[in-house]
């Protein structure tokens, strides 16, 4: 398993990186009002994930808990590609929340760049949400949301 783990992590890092580029492009294309709504949705999703037993598996069916990683980013990514604006916003928020928790305390160096990119995008959403503080404090507010 020690040989297989780095390979799985590398594949996952590439997958998250590819999905992140599409998610980031979608976020940047949103009008200001939709970004404000996305900010609120993302904060709520991060909070809900934080309250689950395994935040990085948020959005994953209970029977799929033993996969190398959860299905939340896949579900969020599929929804983010929807033509329905509300479904797409909710999908982006889900993807951001799950990817945040999955990369947050990862011991794998190949996932750290994804976490930094994600935090930068979350910081931008936090600024749309209402100024002051840091992205981390905005994310910590999610426990209350």
Q: pLDDT tens digits, residue range 15-63?
A: 999 999 999 999 999 999 999 999 999 999 999 999 988 888 888 888 8
Number of domains in the chain: 1
If you average pLDDT over residues 73-102, what whole number do you get? 95
Q: Can you tell me which residue has the tokens 């492009």? A: 25
Q: Express as a percent the part of the chain with pLDDT over 90.
A: 61
Q: How many residues are given for the chain? A: 145
In this prediction, residue 14 carries a pLDDT of 94
Angle at which helix 85-104 crosses helix 4-29, to 10 degrees, equals: 140
Percent helix, strand, coil in the chain, to 5, is: 75, 0, 25
Domain with 128 in it: 4-141
pLDDT digits (tens, 9 = 90+) for 8-23: 899 999 999 999 999 9
- For residue 20 the two structure tokens come to 């992140």
Cα–Cα dist 50/21, whole Å: 24
Q: Express as a percent the part of the chain with pLDDT over 70.
A: 88
pTM given for the model: 0.85
Residue 73: phi and psi, rounded to 5, are: -70, -35
Longest dimension (CA), the chain: 47
In this prediction, residue 144 carries a pLDDT of 47
């Amino acid at each position: 398993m020690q040989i297989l783990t780095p390979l799985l992590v590398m594949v996952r890092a590439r997958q998250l990186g590819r999905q992140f580029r599409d998610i980031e492009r979608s976020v940047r294309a949103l009008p200001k009002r939709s970004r404000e709504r996305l900010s609120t949705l993302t904060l709520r999703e991060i909070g809900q994930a934080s309250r689950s037993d395994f935040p990085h598996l948020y959005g994953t069916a209970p029977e799929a808990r033993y996969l190398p990683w959860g299905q939340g980013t896949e579900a969020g990514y599929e929804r983010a590609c929807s033509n329905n604006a509300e479904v797409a916003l909710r999908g982006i928020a889900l993807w951001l929340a799950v990817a945040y928790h999955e990369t947050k305390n990862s011991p794998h160096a190949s996932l750290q760049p994804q976490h930094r990119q994600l935090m930068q995008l979350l910081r931008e959403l936090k600024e749309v949400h209402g100024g002051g503080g840091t992205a981390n404090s905005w994310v910590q507010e999610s426990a209350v949301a």
